[in-house]
Structure 1
Amino acid sequence: MNVFKNLMIGFGLLVSSVAFSQSNFRSQQIGMGVVVSDMERSLDFYVNGIGMVQAGKFTIGAEFGKRGGLTGGDSVQVHILKLENSPQASDWKLMSFGRKAAHPKPKFIQDDTGVQYITIQVKSLKGIIERLKQRNVTFLGSTPTPLNKDAHFVLVQDPDGTFVELIGPLE
C-alpha cells in the first residue's frame, strides 16, 4: 500500500509540475523567423509552391533592430506566412537582407546545426507536388515515399536549403 501511495504522490507532483511549467506561455504556437537570400524566390516557393498564405508584414526599423539586438542596425521587412489565415495558425516569418548564406547549402539534415527542417501535414499532396514541379523544385530521395496506406512523405528544400517535409495522402 505504501508503494502505491508513493507512486500516486509522485504522479501528482509530476502532473502539477508539468501544468505549472506550461502555464507561463500565452500561446501554444511557436513563430519561426527565417532569413532568406531572395525574398521573391522564397515567397514564390512558400506561397505559390507550398500553398501558404500571406497574413501580413511589418518592418523592423534600424534603431529598434540595433537596440533590441536583432539586426545590428539594419532595417528589414518581415513577411508573415501561415498555413491558413487564422489566429491559431503559426507564423512563418521571412526576412531578407539581400545576402547569400555564409555557409554551404546542406544536402542532408545532418550537414549543419540549428533548425534544418519543418514538417507540414497536408490534406492532399497532389496539388503541391504539381506546383513544385512547375517551379522546378528538386524532390529529394525517392519521394513521394509511402508511410502507410493513408500517407506519403515528400521532401524538398526551399531556395535557401531549409528542408520541408510534406506528409499526407497523395489525393
Structure 2
Amino acid sequence: MSFYKCVKITLLVLGGALSALGQSNFASKTIGVGVVVADLERSLDFYVNGIGMVKTGSFTINEEFGKRSGLTNGVATNVTILKLENSPEATDWKLMSLGSKPAHLKPKHIQDDTGMQYITIQVKALQPIIDRLTQLKVPFLGSTPTPLNAKAHFVFVQDPDGTFIELIGPLQ
C-alpha cells in the first residue's frame, strides 16, 4: 500500500472518530423537569402570575400507566406543562400534584437538603417580576434584589414548595 493511500485511510478513520465524538445521543437540547407540588393551583399562581411562565399543555398519567411505568405506583395525576415562552426550544417545567403533603420540611437555605434545590432564570427585566411577586406576597430572600454587576441584579425567592428560584437580569 502506498504512503498516500495509508495517509488517506488514516485521515478517513480519524475524521470519522472525531465526527462521532462531536455527536450527541440526545434528541433534544433541553431537559424537561417534573416538579411534584403539594397544591397545584397555588404553584400555578406562583409560576404563571408571579414568575411569568406560560401554560403550554397538559396530560394525564392514568392509574395503569402510573403503575406500569413505575412513576406513581398506580396513582393517577394530571401534569401541567409550563415554559418561559411557548416555543419548542424552551424547557418544559412540568407541575403535578398527587394530593399529599411533603415528607420533609421546607428548606430555608440551599444547603438544607440534597437533590435539585434551585433553578436559575435569566430575565430581560426584573422589575415586572418583582412587582408581580410582591403583589402575590412572595417573600424575597436575603437582601435581594442585589447587584451582581453594572448590568445585572440577582433576586432570590422560593416557590410554594421550597424550590429556590434565582432571577438574574437588569432591573429595567
Determine if the TM-score, normalized by the shorter chain, exceeds 0.5.
yes
Per-residue deviation, 1:17: 6.6
Taking the aligned partners of 2:127 and 2:18, their CA distance within structure 1 comes to 42
Taking the aligned partners of 1:109 and 1:72, their CA distance within structure 2 comes to 30
Larger radius of gyration: 2
Corresponding residue of 2:6? none
Corresponding residue of 1:37? 38
Taking the aligned partners of 1:15 and 1:152, their CA distance within structure 2 comes to 41
Corresponding residue of 1:151? 152
3-state SS of 2:144 partner: coil
Corresponding residue of 2:22? 19
Corresponding residue of 2:52? 51
3-state SS of 1:42 partner: helix
Taking the aligned partners of 1:128 and 1:49, their CA distance within structure 2 comes to 6
Q: Any residues of structure 2 matched to 1:98-137 within 5 Å, and which?
A: 98-137=99-138
3-state SS of 1:148 partner: coil
Per-residue deviation, 1:19: 1.4
Structure 1 runs (4+) deviating above 2 angstroms are 14-18
Corresponding residue of 1:63? 64
Taking the aligned partners of 1:18 and 1:164, their CA distance within structure 2 comes to 34
Q: Structure 1, residues 17-45: CA drift from partner, whole Å, max 9, x if none?
A: 7414x2x0010000000000000000000
Per-residue deviation, 1:61: 0.7
Per-residue deviation, 1:100: 1.4
Taking the aligned partners of 2:20 and 2:105, their CA distance within structure 1 comes to 42
In the superposition, the TM-score normalised over structure 2's length comes to 0.88
Q: Structure 1, residues 56-111: CA drift from partner, whole Å, max 9, x if none?
A: 00000110010000000000000000000011111000000121110000011111
Taking the aligned partners of 1:165 and 1:123, their CA distance within structure 2 comes to 14
Taking the aligned partners of 2:160 and 2:33, their CA distance within structure 1 comes to 17
Corresponding residue pairs, total:
159
Taking the aligned partners of 2:19 and 2:156, their CA distance within structure 1 comes to 39
Q: Please tell me whether residue 83 in structure 1 is matched to residue 72 in structure 2.
A: no
In the superposition, the TM-score normalised over structure 1's length comes to 0.89
3-state SS of 1:55 partner: strand
